[in-house]
Amino acid sequence: MPQPTTNNEVAAGQRFPLTIKRIGINGEGIGYYKRKIVFIPGALPEEVVVAEVTNVAPRFIDAKVHKIRKMAPNRVEPKDATYGQVGGIELEHLNYPGQLAFKKDVVVQALEKFKPNGYAQYHITETVGMANPWHYRNKAQFQVREIDGQLAAGLYAPSSHTLIDLPEFATQTDLTMHIIRTVLKLVEALGIPVYDEQHNAGILKTIVVRESFETGQAQLTLITNSQKLPKKQALITAIQEQLPEVVSIMQNVNKGKTVMVWGDETIHLAGQETITETLNGIHFELTARAFFQLNPKQTAKMYEMVEDALDLNSNDRLVDAYCGVGTIGLSLANQVAEVRGMDTIPDSIEAAKHNAAINQIENTEYFVGAAEELLPQWLDDGFQPTALVVDPPRTGLDQQLIDAILLSLPAKFVYVSCNPSTLARDLKQLTTRYQVEQIQPLDMFPQTARVEAVVTLTLK
């Protein structure tokens, strides 16, 4: 075993006992050794472990669990055999009440780091969880490769392109998994060539399945390395015979080596071009590439929280920033005078307009563009929003948008966050004019370290 050369040095391979203090934002256990923070995946607060160093950086140490000397009372046996090999289930070793407590603590950690105005007095409620925190994901997006002569479909190991085959995955629905494994068998039986990343050869790269919880129907998309799809008709016929739930079969073309999963060209192969999902009474027709929340049950709860927090009336003019396919704005449109939404993805805006039409909602307008560019333009044109909901990506709000918010100062303001760190950072500026009435954490992704938060802000 490597030994440190001085009392203060730590080397890869070194082992030492470590008491775990809390869980970090990525779900890893955190302890301290020689005044350095130690990140150790799979370890839980209250545990004493023997840590084995895997990497030493100037300000932190990465380690793995060599042995657990004292086990936490909330440790459980992970459901998935692939726990520790793939992402998306990094908290399966922690019981569900422990996960909900951690997700509230992650919000607290972020506030303590960025210290927005009055953060110590914020009212942070308990995390809203699920009655059944399993089989909740309505979409699976699995890479397909050949491993040791057998076809495999699954996810990459973290920070690698090593594919882990996933015959089962406890956060996916039974239907999405059944469809993927059946399609994989059909591809193998028909001899359809799958993608070889090393040689940039072969056809089938990825299988994507989305299920509608409302109808029980599914959409299948085959992402391919070229427009060619050998044995296409035989495959379509077999899918329609063996998987009657699949009512939409699409092909997406994504040529060559790329970090992007999806390409620009999508081809309709069979069945419908969309499937329909329903949230809080609003119907959404979803194309293959349309963004839609992966956990519809919790999404419906989240939108109810947004509705309660905004407390809208028939005179309000609501801006739905980062609107996607219109889910939030359309669910609130019957309570306000008008809704304006914007998104940078043209397909999403077309879908939002279409969803408004099929639900016969006539007081919405949707625009292609960045919120940080459009909102200032609208203000210049004399439009004054009275209510605002923002649901930004993990990067948080753009500075221009924060400036526009602080210029327009809508009286009703809700920030929906999927990243406590960027939320706390943004609140530093927003709380110069707003006060935080409540932060409601919500568990959108059980078994993972991710947490959503619905933040109610009012003008000072």
Distance of CA 149 to the CA centre of its chain: 33
> Which pLDDT score, from 0 to 100, does residue 345 have?
87
How far apart are alpha carbons 177 and 135 in whole angstroms? 10
> Which pLDDT score, from 0 to 100, does residue 56 have?
95
What does the H/E/C string look like for the chain? CCCCCCCCCCCCCCEEEEECCEECCCCCEEEEECCEEEEECCCCCCCEEEEEEEEECCCEEEEEEEEEEECCCCECCCCCCCECCECCCCCCCECHHHHHHHHHHHHHHHHHHHCCCCHHHCCECCCECCCCCCCCECEEEEEEEEECCEEEEEEECCCCCCEEECCCCCCECHHHHHHHHHHHHHHHHHCCCECECCCCECCEEEEEEEECCCCCCEEEEEEECCCCCCCHHHHHHHHHHHCCCEEEEEEEECCCCCCCCCCCEEEEEEECCCEEEEECCEEEEECCCCCCCCCHHHHHHHHHHHHHHHCCCCCCEEEEECCCCCHHHHHHHHHCCEEEEEECCHHHHHHHHHHHHHCCCCCEEEEECCHHHHHHHHHHCCCCCCEEEECCCCCCCCHHHHHHHHHHCCCEEEEEECCHHHHHHHHHHHCCCEEEEEEEEECCCCCCCCCEEEEEEEEC
Residue pair 144/205 in contact (Cβ under 8 Å)? The answer is yes
> Which pLDDT score, from 0 to 100, does residue 8 have?
63
pLDDT in tens, 84-114: 999 999 999 999 999 999 999 999 999 999 9
Q: Of 418, 425, 428, 438, which is the active-site residue?
A: 418
How far apart are alpha carbons 122 and 258 in whole angstroms? 43
How far apart are alpha carbons 25 and 113 in whole angstroms? 12
How far apart are alpha carbons 295 and 298 in whole angstroms? 6
Q: Which residues of the chain have pLDDT under 70?
A: 1-8
pLDDT in tens, 331-343: 999 999 999 999 9
Residue pair 63/421 in contact (Cβ under 8 Å)? The answer is no
Residue pair 75/83 in contact (Cβ under 8 Å)? The answer is no
> Which pLDDT score, from 0 to 100, does residue 159 have?
85
> Which pLDDT score, from 0 to 100, does residue 6 have?
46
What are 141's two structure tokens? 């997006």
Please confirm, yes or no, whether 323 is among the known catalytic residues. Answer: no
